[in-house]
Structure 1
Amino acid sequence: MPKNSRWTRARAWGIPLIALGAGAGLGVGAMALWGPAGDTGPEAFAQGEGAMGGGEAQTVTVGLQTLEESVTTTGTLAAVATSGLAFEASGTVTDVYVEAGDTVAEGDVIAQIDTLQLTSSLRSVEAELAQAEATLANLEDADDGSDSSEAQIAAAEARVAVLEESVADAEEAMDDAVLVADIAGLVTSQPYEVGDVVSGGSSSTGGDQSAMGGGATTTTSSTGVTIVGEDEWTVAVSLTESEVAQIAEGDQVTFTSEDYDGEFFGVVSEISNLPSTTGGTATYAVELLVTGTVEGLYEGTSVEASIVYLRRTDVLAIPTNAITTTDGVSTVTVVDGSGEGAEREVTTGETIGSYTEITDGLTEGEQLEVTVMTSEGSTSEDGQMDMQFPGGGEFPGGGEMPSGGGQMPGGGMPGN
């Protein structure tokens, strides 16, 4: 079941390490705040030392922020490209070059079978074709224009055509004696061993093939070689009707996993128009596509996906609980250089998560007094606040967006 609210990972640079006790809830969304590039640490936002308990007045710096809202859900990675291979010819496996767990390129030979019988069949049908072609040539040379001569030539031509198809089939059987990777990727299953007897798309593995008997176990082609592509990945998730209403195809996605160090990114590639109902609750299938080349991903890995449906950049925003509203008038406490506070009226804009946009009344760099609810936080040995954000999870201190593979797609977010 998807989570309905989440604070997504924030950039390491300039982020206020403050647990906000008040502020608007996110509903089905979540909010992440990325601080301005000029801020270098929590000192720009949280000042003052000492053990804290209950509510305590702190100061924060007014700055331009990037605010996001997102829907968070979970799913598992699935490769876009997979391939199942099995021998189509009959024979005994003579060579195996690849085992399960190996990585192959398209065209790599995985295994091959004994071609002695296949070669004999090919040579035999080639000889028949050569004889038929010689017969046809003789008939054409002796053609006297009679009906009998024409009939003989037509029969010889038909014989040649049939044998040409037989030669093509025999050559294809020779090709089928070599199992070749048709895609690049990770080999997750490879059951063949030298000495196994295969027959027409199935394999006989194990068992004693000596005169003392002991039948081999026949396995179907579905248990043959499986290759999973590692270049493209998708994640299938289910969202509620209210969550689907927030997102759109092309929305950016941030992925995290306990089995992967860091973040990787993607987009919403498909949203089902028809819901499925389980236990009276309607959900919609949504497909997420991982973008870029991301090393270290594996089929079946559980991931958490944060679908960003709203992003506001360069917004002058402050913690909502720094604002006091009485009779429709909003005010904040501005702290001057000497540490004295003075009340000032401000004009507010949109509230996203626990932050509110300020459209008038404040300028970047000013200091505000904020009452911080510290019941879930503590002060570290170096005097900085070690806070937790709502929900109990620690506020992330890292997680810069990588500059390499799996980059967040460019461009602004589509409107919803």
Structure 2
Amino acid sequence: MKRILKFGLLLVFAALVIWVFVYLYQKSKTVPTVYETETPVVGDIIKKTVATGSIVPRKEIAIKPQESGIVTHVYVEAGDLIKQGDMIARIQIIPEMVQVNEAESRVNKARLAFENAKIAFERIKDLYEQKVIALSEYEAEELKYNNSREDLAAAENHLQLILEGVTKSMGSKTNTVIRSTVSGMVLDVPIEEGNSVIKSNTFNDGTTIAIVADMAEMIFKGKVDETEVGKLKEGMHLLMTVGAIESEVFDAYLEYISPKGVEEGGAIQFEIKAAVKLKDNQFIRAGYSANADIVLDRRDSVLTINERVLQFEGDSTFVEVETAPQVFEKRPVKTGLSDGIKVELIEGLGLEDKVKVPTI
């Protein structure tokens, strides 16, 4: 029994020794690395920077009232197309009592003066017809009478203007009807019937009755970082994408670069504006957020390869070209424009060359 036990232990020990030698042998063997390869392709390289912003109308006009008062009627709503001169709203003037009192007093004084001048004129007229007084005296009294009549009419018109904002002699012209100063689409009507409005003056910008804009002429307004603004020039082509309109790219052309930057979040940002080229019957809502790819440089139909295959030594750039299966040799190359992923190949490679992709 002891012999069998010893023999079994020897077998187990021998098996362990053999397993250790096999394990060490396998660990010592090197597994050959198989490298992937890429071939150059013909394509386009576009070097660009991205500006974020929004699309707004080029001309957006805020319509203000010419008189203060209460809105009695609103004739338009957001989305309506209107022409220059169309009615937007009507207001009722609420005059100040001090002004009304002064205007009424002026009317009363002008009426008394007119009645007195009328009596005097009629008396002079009778004397003139009787050949008692000279023509010059009659004409002087007639002038006083006509002036007093005009003063009364002016005082009455002034009172009517204060109370109603319009006089009989003005006809359809009135400050109580607010009309559009431009043609376009109504973007917003921030007031409602019954709201009080204030006219624009030296101390107040005035209440906005409506915002009107020409939606056929839109611009992209965005900002770029100070590190990129030096590369921009007016007239550059922009490829604009709108978040709300999927799979649609719009053309735009840079027309303004701000000469002064503004600090935002610790970085200096410069405002840019670009004219958006809309297709026929295409409509974009004002305020859409958008990203604009500004094309700084581009190469069309050139030999390109992925930048990850490039290797650098000092000032030299080279790649490893496969000469036999998994056998590579270094070859210097000359590169051109890069977009950060692909790079233009000027010299050193052809379409048939297989280039080693280094492992990370």
Q: TM-score, normalised by structure 1?
A: 0.49
CA drift at 1:150? 8.0
Identify, as 1 or 2, the structure richer in helix. Answer: 2
- Do the aligned partners of residues 62 and 187 (structure 1) sit closer, same or farther apart at CA in structure 2, a change above 3 Å counting? closer
Aligned residues of 2:40 and 2:353 also touching (Cα < 8 A): yes
Letter in 1 for 2:258: S
CA distance in 2, matches of 1:168, 1:234: 45
Alpha-carbon deviations, 1:41-64, whole Å to 9, x = none?
xxxxxxxxxxxxx9963544532x
Q: 1:79 aligns with which of 51, 57, 74?
A: 57
Question: Which residue in 2 is equivalent to 1:293?
Answer: 278
Counting matched residue pairs gives: 273
- Do the aligned partners of residues 289 and 374 (structure 1) sit closer, same or farther apart at CA in structure 2, a change above 3 Å counting? farther
Letter in 1 for 2:41: V
- Do the aligned partners of residues 161 and 373 (structure 1) sit closer, same or farther apart at CA in structure 2, a change above 3 Å counting? farther
1:310 pairs with 2:310: no
CA drift at 1:247? 1.9
Q: 1:349 aligns with which of 335, 345, 348?
A: 335
1:265 pairs with 2:265: no
Alpha-carbon deviations, 1:116-149, whole Å to 9, x = none?
xxxxxxxxxxxxxxxxxxxxxxxxxxxx995984
SS at match of 1:100: coil
SS at match of 2:227: helix
Letter in 2 for 1:308: V
Question: Which residue in 1 is equivalent to 2:128?
Answer: none
CA distance in 2, matches of 1:374, 1:145: 119
Alpha-carbon deviations, 1:273-295, whole Å to 9, x = none?
3333457x451422222322364
CA drift at 1:184? 0.3
Question: Which residue in 1 is equivalent to 2:46?
Answer: 68
Alpha-carbon deviations, 1:283-332, whole Å to 9, x = none?
14222223223644333322222222222334333223345567847356
The 5 Å alignment of 1:181-330 reads 182-193=182-193, 196=194, 201=199, 221-261=206-246, 262-277=248-263, 281=266, 283-293=268-278, 295-323=282-310, 328=316, 330=318
SS at match of 1:99: coil
CA distance in 2, matches of 1:235, 1:59: 40
- Do the aligned partners of residues 319 and 55 (structure 1) sit closer, same or farther apart at CA in structure 2, a change above 3 Å counting? farther
CA distance in 2, matches of 1:315, 1:86: 57
Aligned residues of 1:347 and 1:360 also touching (Cα < 8 A): yes
Aligned residues of 1:240 and 1:282 also touching (Cα < 8 A): yes
CA distance in 2, matches of 1:84, 1:156: 45
Higher-Rg structure is 2
CA drift at 1:253? 2.1
The 5 Å alignment of 1:393-408 reads none
SS at match of 2:277: coil
Aligned residues of 2:304 and 2:344 also touching (Cα < 8 A): yes
CA distance in 2, matches of 1:191, 1:90: 13
CA drift at 1:179? 3.3
Question: Which residue in 1 is equivalent to 2:87?
Answer: 109
CA distance in 2, matches of 1:359, 1:316: 7
Q: TM-score, normalised by structure 2?
A: 0.55
Question: Which residue in 1 is equivalent to 2:4?
Answer: none
Unaligned stretches of 5+ residues in structure 1: 1-53, 116-143, 203-219, 376-416
CA distance in 1, matches of 2:274, 2:152: 49
- Do the aligned partners of residues 278 and 82 (structure 1) sit closer, same or farther apart at CA in structure 2, a change above 3 Å counting? closer
SS at match of 1:222: coil
- Do the aligned partners of residues 224 and 350 (structure 1) sit closer, same or farther apart at CA in structure 2, a change above 3 Å counting? same
CA drift at 1:68? 1.8
Alpha-carbon deviations, 1:372-414, whole Å to 9, x = none?
6999xxxxxxxxxxxxxxxxxxxxxxxxxxxxxxxxxxxxxxx
CA distance in 2, matches of 1:293, 1:158: 63
Aligned residues of 1:84 and 1:222 also touching (Cα < 8 A): no
- Do the aligned partners of residues 246 and 155 (structure 1) sit closer, same or farther apart at CA in structure 2, a change above 3 Å counting? farther
CA distance in 2, matches of 1:158, 1:367: 105
Unaligned stretches of 5+ residues in structure 2: 1-32, 94-133, 158-166
Aligned residues of 1:348 and 1:359 also touching (Cα < 8 A): yes
CA distance in 2, matches of 1:371, 1:66: 22
Q: 2:77 aligns with which of 93, 99, 106?
A: 99
CA drift at 1:153? 6.2
RMSD of aligned C-alpha atoms? 5.0
State the identity as a percent.
Answer: 20
CA distance in 2, matches of 1:291, 1:57: 44
Question: Which residue in 1 is equivalent to 2:100?
Answer: none
Letter in 2 for 1:253: L
- Do the aligned partners of residues 178 and 68 (structure 1) sit closer, same or farther apart at CA in structure 2, a change above 3 Å counting? same
CA drift at 1:67? 1.8
CA distance in 1, matches of 2:295, 2:249: 14
Letter in 1 for 2:61: S
Aligned residues of 2:40 and 2:304 also touching (Cα < 8 A): no
Question: Which residue in 2 is equivalent to 1:123?
Answer: none
